Amino acid sequence: MREKVVLVVGGTDPDAGAGVYADLKTLGAIFSFGKNAHFFASQKNCALGVYGTAVVTAVLAQNTRGVQRVLYLPASLVRAQLKSIFSDVRIDAVKIGMLGTRGNVNEVVRALKRSGVRHVILDPVFSAQPDGKKLIEKSALSAMRKKLLPLAEIVTPNAREAETLASMKIKNLEDARRAARAIKKMGAGNVIVKGVREKGEVVDVALVGGEFHLFRKKIVSGGTHGGGCVFASALAANLAMGKNTGEAVRGAEEFIDDAIAGRKRIGKGVKVVNPLAREMVYEGERGRVIKNLRRALSLVEGCGNFAKLIPEIGTNIGYALRGAKSENDVAGVVGRIRNARGMPKSLGIVDFGASSHVARMILEMMRFDKGRRAAVNIAFSPEILRACKRSGLRVAVADREKEPGEISETEGRSLSWATREAVKNAHKLRKLRTAPDCIHYTASLGKEPSIVLFGSDALDVARKAIRVANFLYGARNR
């Protein structure tokens, strides 16, 4: 399939923390994740990821302490660059950053209208951080409001830039909402006002699809140089890959959270956000999760008693990444584990996205206890349930007869609801002070009863299951 291509338009930055260099690093990181189909949530629709291209509007002498000098490129040269790329490459999304001059704004507007590109993200750049050096002419700002904003699917100003665009002060979240509405009235499709400070938090106020959504973050020290560029580029990439607006925004928010968490101090000034942080941390942890799951699979396949716990539909062991957001962040056993003549057997393959039911239960459990990242499903019988309790596991019950009709009728929501209700009821009845080790999912119309064991990792739940099996059937049968 054809590569998805994102064009970034903006200025340079010698420390590569912001501008088109940061944009291209972001797109490169997303390309790497895209090839493995494990990037943003629900990325199964993505073929290969995204490829980044760039048009330069200004050359800056800049470092982590500020901007020392700016050279705006002639509008004719910006026009030539835009013509070159659009005449040769099919562009799926455009992310626009620093433009600087009225001429550059006009050239970008002309190119966008001629190209008919579907997704346009405008991340207006009016001043540099941390020194506040002005980076746009007054006439360019006027042209941006009148001509470029109406072409943008999403506009992503920070609080100060939103103040300039909306001609108002932003002191709190309600001010940010009013500013977002004002910018939308100028023609923007959706608006995200970033970095609004309130009550010790930094909040991104997103007006998407006519509704407001808040993304709250902790205030970090040391600076976040390039954060706006990285966020907008991730947003453009998500849209290029076919996500709807809501999914694109959520994915970009997750990505920038990781980039900020992994920021680096490369100079004497502010820290630089790191768009490669997710790749480095994520890939390292992925390897550890897979290795742990393989060891767990080997352990259960060597236990004959475990075969007696396998239900007719088979058993799966799931193990999630830290901060897992989707089923693609949960590793499982491909094809499940089956009872083959008295011994547990599988294809011997583990991979992310291999589990569905178990993955949803883990994700729901992690909302209560982030440390319970693994689970294994086993068969139900009164004897097995008693063995779970007698072997020291803390048991909660999910009464599926009480499941609301709208939940039961919606694919994928039933197990999440049941898991959530089991944990909540156990706490409410004061039967458990912590999240349960075991949940008994009762039978309901069309649904067989089952038991799921939860733990810290795949080896932990495998050992719990074997302990139950040996308690019930005797250790000599291992």
* Alpha carbons 259 and 400: distance in angstroms, whole number: 41
- Tell me: pLDDT of 359 over 90: yes
**Domain architecture of the chain: domains with CATH:** 4-275 (3.40.1190.20), 282-477 (3.40.225.10)
The token duo for 104 is 């550059």
pTM of the model: 0.64
- Tell me: pLDDT of 16 over 90: yes
Helix (H) or strand (E) holding 67: strand 66-72
If one compares 215 and 37, the residue with the highest pLDDT of the two is 215
Q: pLDDT value at position 430? A: 52
* DSSP per residue, 174-199: HHHHHHHHHHHHTT-SEEEEEEEEET
Angle at 205 between CA 37 and CA 215, to 5 degrees: 50
- Tell me: pLDDT of 48 over 50: no
- CB proximity list for 23: less than 8 A, separation 6 or greater: 8, 10, 52, 54, 95, 97, 229, 230, 232, 233
pLDDT digits (tens, 9 = 90+) for 230-244: 999 999 999 998 889
Predicted confidence band of residue 447 (pLDDT cuts 50, 70, 90): confident
Question: Average per-residue pLDDT in the chain?
Answer: 88
pLDDT digits (tens, 9 = 90+) for 109-140: 999 999 999 999 999 999 887 778 889 999 99
- CB proximity list for 397: less than 8 A, separation 6 or greater: 422, 425, 426, 439, 440, 442
Q: pLDDT value at position 279? A: 67
